[in-house]
């Protein structure tokens, strides 16, 4: 680990040298950057000496460095965040009241609505009239780089190391997180939502009634694409809905918005291609998936499924609602979605709990069962600006660190016991909802008066166990199937990572044309408008659109990410 860090440091120094050399004409900014770096280095040394000398120091001015309240005399800070449509007034939310009681830290709130938030945020940050605390402010990686370099967003990493045991524990347990939130200049300007749950892979739900009819047990579902194909043929040909008509849609997929990517994203993985565009393989090599040889094998399979009417024939045009309507008519055999009800129509929760998940599949070119999962990281949920003094920064870092504890992560998402949830009488380690009696649903109460962590990403660390902490038969079934059929085989296709401004500019130059070309041709191969004899020409077309430089740029960003690990 130490050696790895040393290598990373050397690499960083080398890269800095080459950056300075490369932009020799830009002396002013690089030297000021250099001196900033120096001064932060020296203050780091001083402060670490200080803390090692004073050892048991527990307070700094008004701030208690341990325990609660965090500040002795109450303070009030300005906060800006995006108000979601479901939100009530932030100043009336229970979450902030509880935090205030515990910490003595209060806020005034500036919460423009989600639709205009981006504009208001930019206006604030560019005019100098911004809040001390940016909470749920959806700071993109580009914004973190830009406003961090301007000194508006404060670097948080030294405070994390000194005052944030919960965040450090998260870094330790989830080693991807720290490099993913570290900007290319080495600073952490914003904290993320980190959410690792057993439900990180999208499920393909299978029609349990049809399996019963065909005498297939859920535990005997196929584990490779050939077995999958055979089952789909039976769904198509054996009238499993029993109406005497050949009206079954074995695999109903919908993608009016995404031009097919929703399906490719899931099914290409069965062929070892983790994404149609950028993904990283186990050896740390970046691919543009459609350039892989296996992509052709995958698309030949998709074409077979489409031409044999196993895939819905409207897969490029109909919407999620259209697909659900066909499910309600009893025509759907399988489909990808969060819950069975969206594929098969509304049903009782007990019934829904009986639907199995199709396992991750293998294929002749990819002998290991494979499916994909997301990164679990949402960027830019908490930042502090240069309107905070040193004491305020320490206090707020202690405040936000609590949200990464198990208790704090639960509090910010669900609020305190007795409002929308209580412990289950069946099993006191599990929770169940208290359903409101005034006509609102649970989410409306949660976002209305309990917490802004409803339709808005906020700083917290959702543990693997959180989703499982509910006394809910459907949820428990979904977790059990995911743990059995998906989670042992899922791969993260790409870590969450920063691009430098230069890298972003290169990527922006190629991304749209490549995507349009890829999607347009992909659909033609699937529906049979283009012969697979033309595949090589298609690959040459991607090369002509700059795919090799596109890949190299991501490789550079990935290598930097990996060196920070």
CB 209, min distance to Ca ion, A: 12
CB 250, min distance to Ca ion, A: 11
Q: At what angle do helices 501-527 and 547-563 cross, to 10 degrees?
A: 130
Q: Which is nearer to Ca ion, 93 or 343 (CB)?
A: 343
Q: Which is nearer to Ca ion, 243 or 319 (CB)?
A: 243
Stretch of residues binding Ca ion (CB under 5 A), selected from 238-246, 298-306, 441-449, 518-526? 238-246
Q: Which is nearer to Ca ion, 158 or 326 (CB)?
A: 326
CB 242, min distance to Ca ion, A: 7
CB 462, min distance to Ca ion, A: 42
Q: Which is nearer to Ca ion, 219 or 245 (CB)?
A: 245
Cis ω before 69 (30° cut-off from 0): yes
Cβ neighbours of residue 493 under 8 Å, at least 6 residues apart?
269, 274, 275, 279, 280, 372
- Residues 555 and 254: their CA atoms lie apart, in Å, by 32
Q: Does position 209 bind Ca ion by CB under 5 A?
A: no
Contact 238, 372 (CB under 8 A): no
Cβ neighbours of residue 16 under 8 Å, at least 6 residues apart?
none
Contact 107, 92 (CB under 8 A): no
Q: Which is nearer to Ca ion, 245 or 438 (CB)?
A: 245
Q: Which is nearer to Ca ion, 25 or 244 (CB)?
A: 244
174: exposed, middle or buried (Cβ count in 10 Å: 0-12, 13-18, 19+): middle
CB 204, min distance to Ca ion, A: 21
Q: How many residues bind Ca ion (CB under 5 A)?
A: 5
- Residues 416 and 450: their CA atoms lie apart, in Å, by 9
CB 207, min distance to Ca ion, A: 12
DSSP letters, 238-269, are S-TT-SSS---EEE----TTTTTHHHHHHHGG
> Which strands, in side-by-side order, build the sheet including 203-206?
203-206, 332-337, 249-251
Instruction: Lay out the site mask for Ca ion across 243-282 (x = CB under 5 A, - = otherwise).
Output: x-x-x-----------------------------------
Q: Does position 53 bind Ca ion by CB under 5 A?
A: no
- Residues 487 and 199: their CA atoms lie apart, in Å, by 8
Q: Which is nearer to Ca ion, 243 or 531 (CB)?
A: 243
CB 341, min distance to Ca ion, A: 21
- Among residues 185, 209, 239, 322, the one that binds Ca ion under rule CB under 5 A: 239
Stretch of residues binding Ca ion (CB under 5 A), selected from 11-19, 145-153, 232-240, 376-384? 232-240
Which of these, 416, 397, 419, lies nearest to 408 by C-alpha position? 416
Instruction: Lay out the site mask for Ca ion across 84-123 (x = CB under 5 A, - = otherwise).
Output: ----------------------------------------
Stretch of residues binding Ca ion (CB under 5 A), selected from 239-247, 260-268, 497-505, 540-548? 239-247
CB 471, min distance to Ca ion, A: 38
Q: Does position 241 bind Ca ion by CB under 5 A?
A: yes
Q: Which is nearer to Ca ion, 4 or 246 (CB)?
A: 246
- Residues 522 and 291: their CA atoms lie apart, in Å, by 12
3-state class of 371 per DSSP? Answer: strand
Contact 443, 176 (CB under 8 A): no
CB 239, min distance to Ca ion, A: 4
Where on the chain is the footprint of Ca ion (CB under 5 A)?
A: 239, 241, 243, 245, 247
């Amino acid at each position: 680990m130490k050696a790895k860090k040393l290598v990373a440091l050397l690499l960083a120094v080398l890269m800095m040298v080459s950056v300075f050399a490369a932009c020799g004409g830009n002396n002013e900014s690089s030297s000021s950057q250099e001196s900033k770096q120096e001064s932060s280095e020296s203050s780091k040394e001083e402060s670490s000496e200080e803390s090692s000398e004073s050892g048991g120091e527990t307070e700094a001015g008004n701030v208690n460095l341990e325990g609660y309240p965090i500040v002795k005399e109450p303070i009030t800070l300005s906060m800006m965040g995006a108000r979601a449509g479901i939100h009530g007034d932030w100043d009336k939310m229970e979450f902030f009241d509880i935090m205030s009681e515990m910490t003595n830290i209060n806020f005034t709130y500036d919460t423009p609505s989600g639709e205009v938030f981006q504009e208001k945020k930019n206006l604030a940050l560019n005019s100098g009239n911004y809040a001390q605390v940016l909470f749920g402010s959806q700071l993109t990686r580009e914004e973190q780089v830009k406003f961090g370099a301007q000194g508006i967003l404060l670097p948080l990493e030294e405070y994390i190391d000194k005052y944030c045991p919960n965040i450090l524990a998260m870094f330790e347990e989830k080693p991807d997180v720290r490099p993913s939130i570290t900007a290319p200049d080495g600073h952490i300007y914003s904290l993320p939502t980190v959410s690792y749950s057993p439900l990180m892979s999208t499920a393909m739900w299978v029609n349990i009634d049809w399996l019963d009819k065909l005498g297939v047990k859920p535990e005997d579902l196929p584990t490779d694409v050939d077995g999958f194909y055979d089952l789909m043929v039976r769904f198509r040909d054996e009238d499993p809905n029993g109406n005497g008509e050949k009206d079954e849609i074995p695999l109903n997929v919908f993608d009016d918005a995404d031009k097919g990517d929703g399906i490719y994203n899931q099914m290409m993985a069965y062929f070892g291609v983790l994404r149609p565009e950028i993904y990283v393989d186990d050896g740390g090599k970046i691919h543009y998936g459609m350039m892989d040889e296996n992509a052709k094998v995958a698309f030949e399979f998709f074409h077979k499924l489409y031409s044999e009417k196993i895939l819905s024939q409207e897969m490029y045009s109909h919407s999620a609602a259209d697909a659900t309507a066909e499910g309600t008519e009893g025509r759907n055999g399988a489909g990808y979605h969060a819950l069975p009800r969206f594929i098969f129509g509304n049903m009782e929760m007990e019934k829904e709990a009986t639907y199995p998940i199709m396992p991750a599949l293998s294929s002749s070119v990819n002998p290991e069962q494979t499916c994909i999962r997301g990164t679990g990281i949402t960027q830019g949920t908490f930042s502090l600006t240069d309107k905070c003094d040193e004491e305020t920064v320490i206090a707020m870092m202690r405040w936000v660190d609590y949200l990464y504890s198990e208790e704090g992560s639960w509090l910010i998402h669900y609020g305190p016991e007795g409002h929308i949830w209580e412990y289950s009488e069946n099993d006191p380690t599990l929770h169940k909802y208290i359903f409101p009696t005034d006509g609102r649903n649970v989410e409306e109460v949660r976002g209305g008066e309990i917490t802004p962590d409803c339709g808005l990403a906020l700083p917290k660390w959702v543990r693997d166990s959180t989703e499982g902490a509910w006394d809910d038969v459907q949820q428990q079934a979904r977790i059990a199937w995911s743990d059995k059929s998906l989670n042992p085989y899922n791969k993260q296709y790409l870590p969450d990572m920063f691009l430098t401004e230069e890298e972003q500019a290169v990527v922006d130059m190629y991304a749209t044309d490549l995507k349009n070309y890829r999607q347009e041709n992909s659909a033609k191969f699937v529906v049979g408008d283009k012969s697979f004899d033309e595949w090589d020409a298609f690959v040459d077309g991607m090369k002509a659109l700059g795919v090799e430089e596109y890949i190299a740029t991501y490789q550079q960003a990935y290598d930097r990410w990996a060196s920070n690990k």
